Amino acid sequence: MLAKSKTLLSMQIISLEEGKHIGRVRGIVVDPDSFTIAALITDKQGRFGDYKVVPFDRVMSIGDHAVTIDQKSSIEKPSNLPEIARLMRNKQPLLGAKVFSESGTLLGIVDDLLYNKETGGIDSLEISGKFLESVFRGRVSIPAAAVITFGTDAIIVETDYK
């Protein structure tokens, strides 16, 4: 089942074992190589604490109102998960990123993404911008398969994506 990534933001995280509200989703970590959601970023833990993460493979379910995890220990410090810590350090913005065609045309900016709730795989990017507003009435969806490069400054897509 596909869902928009923005619906995840501020969603409650509930532990099934403890039946307890653990925090809220504050962001997502994307793996640009597999084009999947690698982890969910939670609230800061304590007044001077750091953000913690839930690796996507530890998410039990994503519902309409909450993300469920097996138990509180499913949430960890990024430093305990080297791959996720690396992805967070090499932060490549997805939402708000500029999208160019390989021919050099600015198509717009990423406004949202559609992802598979079960696998975390990114299905498509929703982009908006002035060019699109005049041509496509505001938004267009670009399939993830059309993405050539997911870079630090821009996302490059095939010129003739379908």
Average pLDDT over residues 50-58: 92
**Residue type at 57 in one-letter notation:** D
pLDDT band at 44 (very low <50, low <70, confident <90, very high): confident
Predicted confidence at residue 134, as pLDDT, reads: 46
Instruction: Say how far apart CA 97 and CA 92 lie, in whole Å.
Output: 9
Percent of the chain with pLDDT over 90: 64
Predicted confidence at residue 25, as pLDDT, reads: 95
| H or E stretch at 46 | none
Virtual torsion, Cα 37, 97, 102, 141, nearest 10 deg:
70
Please give the mean pLDDT across all residues of the chain: 88
Predicted confidence at residue 51, as pLDDT, reads: 85
Q: Which two tokens stand for residue 142?
A: 């670009």
| 22 close to 40: Cβ distance less than 8 angstroms | no
Instruction: Say how far apart CA 69 and CA 54 lie, in whole Å.
Output: 8
Adjacent-strand bridge partners of 143: 124
pLDDT in tens, 58-100: 999 999 999 999 999 899 999 899 999 999 888 777 888 999 9
Sheet holding 20-31, edge to edge: 51-55, 36-44, 20-31, 12-15, 66-69, 59-62
Instruction: Say how far apart CA 152 and CA 67 lie, in whole Å.
Output: 29
